[in-house]
Amino acid sequence: MSYIKSTIVALFTLVVMSCSNTLSSTAPGQAGSEHVYVISEHIAKRLMFSAMKSEVNEKDIATLSSPELGYKSSIQWGVDQDTISLFAKTMKGEQNGKKVEGYVFYAKHSGTAPAAGESTIERLIAHVVKDAEALGQKATLVK
């Protein structure tokens, strides 16, 4: 009997702990899809930090370690916790017939609070893309 309970608890734990998703600004139908934002690394960081501050307490935001460019934080929802990450990746684009390099944005969550995580990463991508679009420096993503 104890073996069955232990097995059930172990399986449940694996299922719950495997809740995660990644959302990209390049995904079809997503805000910012098909675009690269021609901005500096400094501006990309500022846009991401601003988006993160709109969702979590500023003191809980940690800078991602190199080579990743971005931020992460944890969200507590009752007994559940979710880790949220927002990062930028350099990609090639085309602007006025010229090849350029810019940034695309990704958000990722993992943990046991998928309701908090999924909706949060959607808002993060929407926020950072809206701010990047306001700068008016976008190029067509080269695939």
Percentage of residues in the chain having pLDDT higher than 70: 73
pTM for this predicted structure: 0.78
Strands (E) located in 5-137: 20-24, 35-37, 62-63, 69-77, 80-95, 98-111
Interstrand relation of 80-95 and 20-24 (parallel, antiparallel or unpaired): unpaired
Can you give the pLDDT at residue 100? 94
Q: Could you read off the pLDDT of 103-119 as tens digits, one per residue?
A: 999 888 887 765 666 78
| Among 138, 59, 68, CA closest to 106 | 68
Can you give the pLDDT at residue 14? 40
Can you give the pLDDT at residue 134? 93
Given a cut of 60, whether residue 24 has pLDDT beyond it is no
Q: Could you give the CA distance from residue 103 to residue 40 in angstroms, rounded to a whole number?
A: 8
Given a cut of 70, whether residue 66 has pLDDT beyond it is yes
- Cα 72 vs. chain centroid, distance in angstroms? 9
Can you give the pLDDT at residue 54? 93
pLDDT tier for residue 61 given thresholds of 50, 70 and 90: very high
Specify whether the CB–CB gap between 25 and 104 falls below 8 A: yes
